């Protein structure tokens, strides 16, 4: 298990290597380090702005070799955001390292703070507003499949669908409260009554009665959060969603 001191030393070493890399013109901290909010479990988030004429995949390949050969990387996964590549590494110490590679002139804050270490960054990208109708749509879609899974006696699939429904409800609640909605980052900071209702919507077993209870609780929460987030969109499906709760015997 990594220590905070080891994490800080490795980050400093990586930043020093980046400053000596002719293919990198800029480097910045993202994530908790950029917010002065690191704790025992924080990972390393570094963003590299590439020099003119440098290819994202080529530079990422060189850094990937470095992390595997010199720093104990065990696996990695790629996530693209526009033209920027986020390569996420699992280290043998269990530390997560996120390195993002940005084509020349594109390094910028994109929804969270950025702390420039060297070089220059572009102006922050404007925050995009979430599509509330799409979140509500995914929620009712999960609700439909949860209902059919319960009715068919497929308990594990029902739990999967109920979890998906809950995720969408949490997203709506976080957005309403002005909290980070991605990956449930704000859920523990929701007001206590809503947190308790979310806790109560966790299934304790796979019995049909329990799954129906959870289903009813989540659909009720969805109706409330959808009405607060997008009244017109929620109003058009409210009666159908309410009918889902009593639809198992139909």
Task: Using pLDDT thresholds of 50, 70 and 90, give the confidence band for residue 247.
Answer: confident
Residue with tokens 């007001």, as numbered in its chain: 191
Q: What per-residue confidence (pLDDT) applies to 250?
A: 56
> Rounded to 5 degrees, what are φ and ψ at 38?
-65, 145
- Rounded to whole angstroms, the Cα distance separating 216 from 1 reads 42
Q: What pTM value is reported for the model?
A: 0.88
Helix (H) or strand (E) holding 63: helix 56-70
- Rounded to whole angstroms, the Cα distance separating 42 from 32 reads 7
Strands 96-102 and 84-91: antiparallel
- Per-residue pLDDT tens over the stretch 47-98: 999 999 999 999 999 999 999 999 999 999 999 999 999 999 999 999 999 9
Going 115 to 121 to 126 to 131, the CA torsion angle's sign is negative
- Per-residue pLDDT tens over the stretch 209-245: 999 999 999 999 999 999 999 998 888 999 998 898 8
- Per-residue pLDDT tens over the stretch 156-174: 999 999 999 999 999 999 9
- Rounded to whole angstroms, the Cα distance separating 85 from 56 reads 7
Strands 73-81 and 115-118: unpaired
- How would you list the strands of the sheet with 73-81, edge to edge? 73-81, 84-91, 96-102, 44-50, 24-29, 115-118
Residues 6 or more apart whose CB falls under 8 angstroms from that of 61 comprise none
């Amino acid at each position: 298990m990594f220590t905070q001191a080891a994490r800080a030393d490795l980050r400093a070493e990586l930043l020093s290597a980046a400053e000596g890399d002719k293919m990198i013109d800029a480097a910045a901290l993202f994530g908790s380090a950029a917010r002065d909010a690191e704790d025992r479990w924080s990972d390393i988030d570094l963003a590299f702005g590439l020099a003119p004429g440098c290819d994202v995949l080529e530079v990422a390949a060189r850094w990937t070799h470095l992390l595997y050969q010199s720093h104990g990387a065990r696996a990695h996964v790629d996530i693209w955001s526009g033209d920027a590549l986020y390569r996420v590494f699992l280290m043998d110490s269990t530390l997560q390292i996120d390195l993002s590679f940005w084509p020349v002139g594109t390094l910028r804050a994109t929804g969270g703070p950025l702390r420039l270490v060297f070089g220059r960054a572009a102006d922050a990208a404007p925050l995009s507003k979430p599509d509330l109708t799409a979140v509500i749509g995914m929620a009712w879609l999960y609700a439909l499949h949860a209902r059919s899974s319960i009715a068919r006696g497929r308990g594990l699939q029902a739990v999967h669908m109920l979890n998906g429904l809950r995720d969408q409800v949490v997203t709506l609640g976080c957005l309403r409260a002005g909290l980070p909605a991605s990956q449930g980052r704000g859920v523990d900071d929701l007001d206590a009554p809503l947190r308790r209702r979310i806790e109560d919507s966790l299934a304790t077993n796979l019995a049909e009665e329990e799954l129906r209870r959870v289903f009813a609780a989540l659909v009720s929460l969805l109706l409330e959060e959808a009405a607060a987030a997008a009244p017109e969109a929620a109003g058009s499906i409210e009666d159908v969603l309410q009918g889902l709760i009593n639809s198992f015997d139909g």
